[in-house]
Structure formats: C-alpha cells, structure tokens
Amino acid sequence: MQLALEALQKDTNHSERAVAKFFGVPQSTLSTCQKGVCPRSKAHEHQQNLSQSQEQLLAEWACVRGHQGIPLTLSLLGSYASHMVGKEMGATWPRRFVERHPELKKKLTTSLEACRAKALNQATSDAYFDLLEEVVTVYNIWPGNIWNIDEKGIQLSVGKRVFALIDCDQKSVYSIESGNHDLVTIIEAVCADGRALHPSVIFQGVCRDLRWGEDNPSNASISLSPNGWTDQELGSMWLEKDFEPKTRPDLVLDAQVKWRLLILDGHNSHCTFWFCNFAEQHHIMIICLPPHTTHALQPCDVGVFSPLSTKWKSLVTSLGHRMIEVTKINLLHHYTIARSSALKPSTIKSAFRKTGIYPLN
C-alpha cells in the first residue's frame, strides 16, 4: 500500500485504478488513504497493545514456530507479546489476536500416545527432511554448526544383568550392588562433525555438596533439581550458559557462518518462551523432531546413547565386583571413563549419517 501511494504521488498521470491493480491492493483502500483517511485498523492502532507491524511480525512468527514443531499455545503467544511491548497482556488478548489474524487457527495437539504407532510414516519424514534441507540451505549452516541435544537418566550404582555361572542346585542368582539408586540426568550435545560438548549433569537434591564437582575430568556443568530431572529453568540455563558460548562460531574467521542448528525433541523444557527467544537472538535455529520418531531420526538415540549406556553399565558392574560404590562424589570421574570410550568422533558422525541429517539423505 505504501508503494502504491508513493507511485501516485510521484506520477499523477496514472489512475488510482491502474496503480491499485499493478500493486495488488484494493482500489477503495488506496483511494481512502490518498484522501488522508486512515483505514479502520490503522485508526484504532493507538488503542491496541501492539502496532500493526508488531502484530504482523508475531503472526508470522507463530506460523514459523508451528512449522518448526514448536507451536505456540495461547499462553506462550501472550508471553511473546508481553515481551515485545514490555507489559503484561490481558487474559483475553491471545484469543482476540487469533480472531484478528485469519491466517492462524487453533488446533488441538494430537496425543503423543495416540500417534505413537503412526508417527514414523512417509509424510512425516518427508515434511521433516524438507524443513531440515530448507533451514540448512537458507541459513547457510555448516556441518560444524549442526547439533543434536538429548538427555539420559541414570541411576547410581545400577549395573547390567549378565549371565553368571552358579551351582546347578541354585534357583536364583543375585549380584551385589549398592542400594544408592538416586537419579541423575545427563545432558549430551553432539555435532555432525564428530564433536561432543561437555556434558551437563543434573543431580537430585536441593543443596549442592562442593565435593560433587572436585573430580570432574570432562569439565561437566553441574546443577540441581528436586527430582533429578531437567525442567524449563534448567533447559534455558543450559542453552545460555553451556551451549551458546561453547558453540559460538568464530565470526572473525568467516562472517558468513552465523547460524547454528539445534535439533531436539519436543520436551517441555525446550519449548518455553525464554528458550526460543534466547535462541533466536543468538542465531540458533531450532528444529523439533516429529513426536515419537527419535528412535529413528535423533542421532543421540540412534547411535550415541546405546554404546554409552553399555559402557556405563559395564563399568558400574565392574566397580561393584570390586566393592566400589558409585556416589555423587565420584560419579563424574567414572562417567568420564565410560563417556570417553563411547563418544568417539566416528561414532557421532555415524549417528548423524544413519539419521540422514548429515550428509542430508
């Protein structure tokens, strides 16, 4: 519309009808603007929380998030708007925003359990790989900037079941292991070029014992949660304190390589306003894997965690035979041993190749 108005002002020989047709705008609206009368949406803009340009930007952003597998809920939409204008939106604002933007629609998300059996189908795979190829191409993302993050829960001092020789009259066999079964969550991030970021360990507890980090060969970051699981706050903290500074491209060497790609599952700790907003501000593009496809499409699940889990359980079993208990104090020392054996560059590259991420297949 602005271009059409400028064209009329520069050359008065053209009719409003011809200019409106050329620029694809309604002639009546063009005529109204030419006479200095604001359209209704513009006239009431001062009464709205967001300007027209801000609303349009937010609507486009909602569409992008939906395609990335991180659809905005109404509450999350309100959080984005509040951040844009610096004040809290009313409870009914998200609903009225959707009504003003017919390009958006509300749709109930499908239950993950209901779609488990049909999650990995051709249409789902095609849509995911089309998006992956588009993002990598448009944002010029190199293999050294393609990352996958996932988390794995382990219990202290729980080894693996093995075959053992026993007396033929013995009906059952038991292996001695510690009663310490505290849950610990390990966050691992691996890159398509074979690198692995230092791990992030989430201990179960509310008060940290400084001894937990004294023997830390892998330079793991340490945090706490009451249940030992990651949550929204810890997810955002990991992105800000661990991932972003440690994977930041060297813009001095190549100013064209700015964007990173982070592929992850749809865990709620990854889909918060702060997580997505921080990623956008720091040139981190996020793609969420389709629900219940991680067993086939996520590098960590396909080729990284299995050998890591095998090494860890074997190590814990071996320690148990020597009456060595795995505790929070020595966990990082022992985990680093298993991790060094399992997370080899060749193993990580193979996982990205098997999942078709790199080379793209």
**pLDDT tens for residues 225-241?**
988 888 888 999 999 99
Looking at the predicted structure, is the pLDDT value of residue 22 above 80? no
Q: Using H for helix, E for strand and C for coil, what is the string for 64-81? A: HHHHCCCCCCHHHHHHHH
pLDDT at 268: 62
- Residue 53: pLDDT band (50, 70, 90) is confident
pLDDT of residue 210: 92
SS (H, E, C) 124-160: HHHHHHHHHHHHHHHCCCCHHHEEEEEEEEEECCCCC
Between the ranges 63-77, 120-134, 250-264, 342-356, where is the mean pLDDT highest?
342-356
Amino acid at 289: L
Average pLDDT, stretch 81-97?
Answer: 86
Q: pTM for this one? A: 0.70
d(CA 18, CA 69): 42
Beginning with the edge strand found earlier in the chain, give each strand of the sheet holding 260-264 in spatial order: 221-225, 200-204, 183-191, 146-155, 260-264, 284-288
- Per the model's pLDDT, the better-predicted residue between 130 and 317 turns out to be 130
- What's the maximum distance between 2 C-alpha atoms anywhere in the chain? 107
More confident residue, 150 or 68: 150
Name the pLDDT band for 35 (thresholds 50, 70, 90). low
Q: What is the mean pLDDT of the chain?
A: 81
